[in-house]
Amino acid sequence: MGFDKMKDQLSDAMSKNSDKLGDGIDKAADFVDDKTGGKHTDKIDSAADKAKGLLGQDNDDPDQPTRNTR
């Protein structure tokens, strides 16, 4: 399988499942935030927002769920 074909399949899968990927990003961010005792919440939130932005999820959109923070 060529690189371009794999890239297209991955891009297609990501676009079809961006909500699930976004939920996974939120869960991972919550886990890391819990493990660090909330010391780096702002940085973790920023990283999660950037990752979700790459998926096309805009956190300014009221229809998009937001991550639970302390």
The total number of structural domains that make up the chain: 1
pLDDT per 10-residue tile (average), the chain, 70 residues: 90 88 96 97 96 78 51
Quickly tell me which residue has 């886990």 as its tokens.
31
Q: CA angle at residue 19 from 13 to 8, to 5 degrees?
A: 15
pLDDT at 60: 54
pLDDT in the model for residue 39: 97
Tell me whether residue 32 is in a domain. Answer: yes
Question: Would you tell me how many other CB atoms lie within 10 Å of the CB of residue 37?
Answer: 9
Give the count of beta carbons closer than 10 Å to the beta carbon of residue 33.
21
Contacts of 30 (CB under 8 A, 6+ apart): 67, 68
Model pLDDT, residue 66: 53
Query: According to the model, what pLDDT value does residue 62 have?
Result: 47
**Do the domain assignments include residue 14?**
no
- Is 4 inside any structural domain? no
**pTM listed for this prediction:** 0.69
Can you give the residue range of the structural domain that contains 40? 21-55
